[in-house]
Chains A and B, each alone.
Chain A
Amino acid sequence: MRCHVSRSGYRGDENLKKLMSGNAALGEAAVLSGCSCYFGYPITPQNELTEYMAKRMNELGRVFIQSESEIAAINMVLGASVAGARAMTSSSSPGMSLKQEGISYLAADELPAVIVDMVRGGPGMGNISPAQSDYLQATRGGGHGDYKTIVLAPGSVQELTKVVPLAFDLADRYRNPVVILGDGMLGQMMEPVDFDNVQPPKEYPKDYILTGAKGRPSRMIRSLLFDTKEEEEHNWKLVRKYQRMEQNEVRYETFLTDDAEMIVIAYGIGARIAKGAIKRLRQENLKVGMVRPITAWPFPAAVLQEFARTVHEFFVFEMSAGQLIEDVKLALNGRGHIHFYGRPGGIIPTPVELYRIIGRHYYMASRREQS
């Protein structure tokens, strides 16, 4: 494989893979997906994305604004979305907390948008090293009210090129905000990547956007529903939409599960670490496989339930102190044994460390089976 380091961005030479950071690759994938507006505020570890967009969007004559805050950025996204544009913003954990108000409004107003969270250690200021501790914030809505966002959790720079156009497509298809849940490692690390399969998603009819009431009745977009009956009906309408997402949009990957006696559940960069551990475990003939949710919401609960018919041991690994495990527990609903290894924001666990811990649990479980 030939690679070259690209400082100035991807230039469409199909014979070469480019060595790019996840942040820059995400930016290029967004550009190729037809993202016409980007709004962002500096925060590490996602700054390369904002900087990439500053350069590329200006080159292409598209909209780029460095906003005064994450709050302003998400509201500019809302405005651009209302006006019919394909809009994106990005941030990292502390900034994502600030965006939650706007995401709640996007969901309530049924407006498409793509929001990137390159998660870092928290709570509070935390630090700038990778973490997965925004999982519950992302998968439970995150802001006020009964709402959901689709949450896509890619695990490599190349996978970003699949996830980004998908995010824009799902946002438009469901008229709902979509969150790309990465982490500091995915954003910062450089990997070979090509954009050969990135196509702009199809255009959906947008009969709700505000363009000025030319030749049609005026439109209003609002989330204030004083009438209690109207408010509840609006909420049920949203719930039905989320149910359709749960039915149709679950995505996951399995790894060495055919003969597995223990199934690891991990996502994003955590799954990458787990894959390294599982390869070592397999060398010692430990039958360990993995289910990697690609959609953290809707969560692949049904596939875990299916595995639970034959597999008894499940191992949850996450770079947070116990968030992903909640979804696994809900999915398995008492079936199987759930083992857990989570490390909160701070030190990044290594594949060797995880290999030792999964191995220990595997032997403990087989001794329990024997006795």
Chain B
Amino acid sequence: MTKVYTRPGTIKEAHFHYCPGCGHGIINRLLMEVIEEMGLREKAICVAPAGCGMLVYNYFDIDTLESAHGRGAAVATGIKRVRPDNLVFSYQGDGDLAAIGTAEGFHAANRGESITVIFVNNGVYGMTGGQMAPTTLTDQVTTTTPDGRNPIIAGYPVRICEVFSMLDGTTYLERVTVNKPAAVAKTKKAIKKAFQCQLDGKGFSLVEILSPCPTNWKMGPIESCRWIDDVMTKQFPLGVVKDIK
């Protein structure tokens, strides 16, 4: 029998702790596939966040640091300035990058730091139990917006790619998702491109990945994947937001 698929050598033999239907597992796997395929295992340094993504160091067989909540881009800046030949990327959620760590992300982008941010947007604070995130959609119900997000009280969902695209330091920004096989393949391509952009010394790159969170969305996994297409992408349109050649 021919083996058609196998675990990338850059993923440790551990069980993912993620909930059924969660997008993190796919994103983790894609990252490690890309790193293996691009031959970057010995160059890569990952900065893990606080939140559901923080345990990536249990899965990634590359050098990894867990940063404080929101500080990933500043920590990655420090690493990259010391080790410009390494591939340095931060893995950050929406609360991490778009709320508590906005300043660090924004200014790393504005300085054109040669780092990559993998931005996982699932519209909620997952690990703490499904509170409103800066990316929570208008009218979306969370544990802290029990009647739905009311923009008059709680503001509007933040579009990080579009905001960062205004900064001269950013070179490649793309929004993708992982809700179906074709989208997964596209996400892998986007990650590859972002890493290549860093290796070429072009500047700051970011891939925003719309990711299902069935547990906190109170939906089934398939329904969650549909909801991304039907609702989430209306606020967060997919595609390349910025790509400087």
Contacts and interface: CB of A to CB of B under 8 A. Distances in A.
A154 B185 CA distance: 59
A220 B66 contact: yes
B147 to A, nearest CB: 33
B75 A79 contact: yes
Contact of A37 (B47, B61, B78, B103): B78
A234 to B, nearest CB: 13
A245 to B, nearest CB: 24
B42 A212 contact: yes
B229 interface: no
A76 B43 contact: no
Nearest to A63: B81
A93 interface: no
Contact of A211 (B67, B80, B86, B107): B86
User: A interface, by DSSP: helix, strand, loop or mixed?
Assistant: mixed
A303 interface: no
Interface stretch (A4-12, A17-25, A66-74, A354-362): A66-74
A222 interface: yes
A78 interface: yes
B26 interface: no
B243 to A, nearest CB: 26
Interface string A30-67: 00000011010000000000000000000000010101
Interface residues of A, number: 40
Most chain B CB within a 10 A radius of its CB, from A37, A65, A71, A76: A76
A365 to B, nearest CB: 50
A75 B79 contact: no
Interface string B98-138: 00000110110001000000000000000000000000000
A75 B71 contact: yes
Contacts of B79: 79-80, 82-83, 210
A209 B188 CA distance: 29
A80 B77 CA distance: 8
Interface in A69-118: 69, 71-73, 75-85, 87, 101-102, 105, 109
B63 interface: yes
Contact of B74 (A76, A213, A221): A76
Contacts of B104: 68, 71-72, 75
B83 A211 contact: yes
Interface string B48-91: 10100010010011111111100100111111111100110000
Given A37-B78, A212-B45, 20 more contacts: A72-B103, A72-B104, A75-B68, A75-B104, A76-B75, A78-B71, A79-B47, A79-B65, A79-B75, A79-B76, A82-B78, A101-B68, A102-B68, A213-B44, A213-B62, A214-B42, A218-B61, A218-B62, A221-B65, A222-B64
